[in-house]
Amino acid sequence: MIDIKLILQKYNIHSKKYMGQNFLIDENVLNKIIGAANLSLKDTVLEIGPGLGILTVELAKRTKKVIAIEKDKTLCEILKKILKEQNINNVEIVNKDILKVSDEIPNSNYKIVANIPYYLTSPLIRKFLEVENKPSLMILMVQKEVAQRITAKPPHMSILSIAVQFYAEPEIIDYVPKSSFFPMPKVDSAIIKIIPQSYVGRATSHINMKKFFKLVKTGFSSKRKMLKNNLPEIDLEKIGLNPKVRAENLSIDDWMKIYRDFYS
């Protein structure tokens, strides 16, 4: 495993907190990420925020190609040198903001494996669950509390958990202590696995997404209130739901029932 602290000293690099730069230094965690991705030499992997290449090098050894998207130009230049030193030649480095990337998204089958800046979590997941060619899976390092919200079940649902679970099947692979990073962040993390719905078979093609999420947002508009107060037009008993139910108690399938009744 690359020694991050030595590289930081060698190139006189200072972590940019505003870009969420906390570098992974725990080899056990690195191995868990790699293992969860179930990689093969036929795979193309999109890595977001490769930083100094801790994950990049290991991905490159196990796959056909890695497309590494890095916003920080300085890190891109250093990463090129690190990969050359490691005799790695199957990595394409792209100096761009991942939220503005389009042409670099593979047209064929690919996976996303990344230790992402935490401020990017929600927009990044949304982007890749809504693109035409979705990844076959995503393995992401995210903030622990966010991972728990993404994978929540009733009675702890939120707009975030519904937004992800509408498109995909998420699960927590493992929790990661803050001591696994340098500099050490203020929060613990988690490795999550997300499989887009086109790969798990949820039938959502007949749903108008804008209408569906408008309905969900209305349902959550007054926190802790009974759903009938936020959506008085819905006859909850008619569709088999408790009239006193709250939004956080509803599953995706429950929201599907409400959607069909509301827009029928």
How confident is the model over 151-178, as pLDDT tens digits? 999 999 999 999 999 999 999 999 999 9
65-69 vs 137-143, strand pairing mode: unpaired
Sign, CA dihedral 110-116-120-125, equals: positive
What's the pLDDT tens digit per position in 48-61? 999 999 999 999 99
Measured at the CA of 257, the angle between CA 169 and CA 146, to 5 degrees, comes to 35
- CATH 1.10.8.100 location in the chain: 209-262
Peptide bond into 183 cis (omega under 30): yes
pLDDT the model gives residue 198: 62
CA angle at 253 for the pair 247 and 259, rounded to the nearest 5°: 70
Q: What is the longest distance spanned by two Cα atoms in the chain?
A: 67
Strand, helix or coil at 124?
helix
Confidence grade of residue 18 (pLDDT, cut at 50, 70, 90): very low
Confidence at residue 6, expressed as pLDDT on a 0 to 100 scale: 86
Two tokens, residue 122: 């929600």
CATH code given to domain 4-199:
3.40.50.150
Residue range(s) of every CATH 3.40.50.150 domain in the chain: 4-199
CB-based contact 68:45 (threshold 8 Å)? no
Q: Kindly state the helix (H) or strand (E) to which residue 75 belongs, with its residue range.
A: helix 73-85
Q: What is the CATH number of domain 209-262?
A: 1.10.8.100
